[in-house]
Each structure stands twice: as C-alpha cells, then as structure tokens.
Amino acid sequence: MATATKERPVETKTDQTNQNQDILNVKNLEIFYGEKRAVNGISMDIEKNSVTALIGPSGCGKSTFLRSINRMNDLISGARATGDIIYENLNILSDQINVVALRKEIGMVFQKPNPFPKSIYENITHALKFAGTRKKSELDKIVEESLRKAALWDEVKDRLHKSALSLSGGQQQRLCIARTIAMKPTVMLLDEPSSALDPISNAKVEDLIVDLKKDYSIIIVTHNMQQASRISDKTAFFLSGDLIEYDLTEKIFTNPSVKKTEEYISGRFG
C-alpha cells in the first residue's frame, strides 16, 4: 500500500503491553479541569476491531474521556489527566508522546461536520501533503480509497474539485470520516458523529461505522441509545464521571447488572 513510513508517536516505550485482543487498556484514569474532576478513576479495556459505545447523560464525562485518548484535552488550558492509557506498549498519557504522530493513529471525528473550506479532494490530501506525500498518482489513489471506505465515492467522484461546503451535512460528515481514514489510523474516535444529521444520513453513517470495524477499532459517544444498541459490540455507561457498567451491548440493553444502568436505558433520567 502506498504510504509514507509512519513516524511512531513516542520516543520511549512503557514496559506495559496490551492484553491480547485489546487495542487500549485504560487504567485508573482521572481527568481534571482545574480543581474539578470530570472523570473519576475509570478502568476499561477496549477490544480491537470492535465498536465500543459510550453512553450516559450530558455532562457525565464521555467527551472528556474520548478526547483523552488522542490527547485533544491538551488543547484545553487547565485540563490534566492521571493514570494510564496503554496503546501498543505506549502510554498515551506520557509526556514523551509525539501527539501529532499519535493523532494520525488515533483519529477523531466531531459532532458537527467540520470540513475545511476547500475542495473535496484537498480536504483529504491536505494533511497527507503536510506529512510528506506529494506524488499526484499516490494522492489520487488515497483520495479514492478513503472516499470508497467512507461510502462517499459514488456521490462525489465527478466533483472532487468542488467545494466541500457544497455537500450536504451527511456527506460532509462522511468526508470528515474519509479525511480521518486517509491518515490510516488504527483507532477512530467519534463524538456524536451523526447527531446533527437527518435520519437518512444518520443511517448511512451508522452502516459505515459497522463496516469500518473490519479495519479499525471504533469508540463512539452517542446520546442515542437505539444507535448504541444497533451498532456497538460493547457499551460503557457513564454517570457523573464514573464508569457505572461496561459490558456486551446486548447485555447492557436487555439485562444490565446495575440498577442505575437499567433506569437510564429505560429513560427514567438523563
């Protein structure tokens, strides 16, 4: 596959390694904004090539947790994290991590589609060029591959050089997913990626996510419990910064072990 040699996201390694089927092992993770603790010492193992859903009421720490995985909280002044997030025998929270390289391996897609005000083609090639891929034939190939994987190619192949802003919201969100795919990540973090979309676009994004887990490990925040139950393999229920219950999605939605989970999924609060 035509790709530049990947810069590793770290200079030194930990002596910890992932458990067999896991892509991430989170251990006793606490996240603070100033004095306020938003995530209260949670531990969870995230499986490779699976979809993990994070659910829970607004403000319970889902986005904070998700952003810690590719160090996006670094951009928030006063935010800090303690504990371990082990990824391929690296500790993501180590101050030796090269966060630019890390974010290529652990990509993120946000709630509101945020394409650059450039062409569809340039949206995908921008970061690749920055990372040193210059050959047109190679860029063309990655653009097509990424758009195909994001189930957008057929809709845009005849207008690759038109503005990304001319696309519908649902198409823009699939473009943002394609842009992430182009970086050849191993993990994709999705923060309510379809909540701003119409039902048809939402269905397309959901189908896409299920399809993508062949190649990637996906963690998705959703406030939509039907969505979590449709697309995820495991579900984590957060409440006030605590991880209340984490299990197979089917178990969480049919026979949860904790009363609070049952109350939440049956719509009694949140």
Ligand X SMILES: Nc1ncnc2c1ncn2[C@@H]1O[C@H](COP(=O)(O)OP(=O)(O)O)[C@@H](O)[C@H]1O
Answer yes or no whether residue 201 interacts with Mg ion by CB under 5 A.
no
User: Which of 18, 30, 32, 33 is in the footprint of ligand X by CB under 6 A?
Assistant: 33
Residues 234-253: x where in contact with ligand X by CB under 6 A, - otherwise, as a string: --------------------
User: Which of 50, 52, 63, 222 is in the footprint of Mg ion by CB under 5 A?
Assistant: 63
Rounded CA-CA distance 113/175 in Å is 8
Rounded CA-CA distance 141/49 in Å is 24
Number of residues in contact with ligand X under rule CB under 6 A: 11
Q: Are 218 and 51 in contact (CB under 8 A)?
A: yes
CB atoms within 10 A of CB 200: 10
State which residue, 63 or 261, has the beta carbon closest to Mg ion: 63
Q: Which stretch binds ligand X (CB under 6 A): 57-65, 181-189, 208-216, 261-269?
A: 57-65
Rounded CA-CA distance 164/175 in Å is 8
134: DSSP letter: -
User: Which of 25, 50, 52, 64 is in the footprint of ligand X by CB under 6 A?
Assistant: 64
Rounded CA-CA distance 153/147 in Å is 5
H-only helix segments in 80-152:
99-105, 120-130, 136-149
Residue 115 CB, shortest distance to ligand X, in Å, is: 23
Residues 170-209: x where in contact with ligand X by CB under 6 A, - otherwise, as a string: ----------------------------------------
Answer yes or no whether residue 220 interacts with ligand X by CB under 6 A.
no
Choose the one of Mg ion, ligand X, none that binds residue 256, judging by a C-beta under 5 to 8 angstroms depending on kind.
none
Which segments of the chain are extended strands (E)?
22-33, 36-47, 51-55, 79-87, 90-91, 106-109, 187-191, 217-221, 234-239, 242-248
Answer yes or no whether residue 76 interacts with ligand X by CB under 6 A.
yes
Residue 102: half-sphere exposure toward Cβ, Cα within 13 Å: 25
Answer yes or no whether residue 109 interacts with ligand X by CB under 6 A.
no
Interface with ligand X (CB under 6 A): 33, 38, 56, 58-64, 76
Interface with Mg ion (CB under 5 A): 63
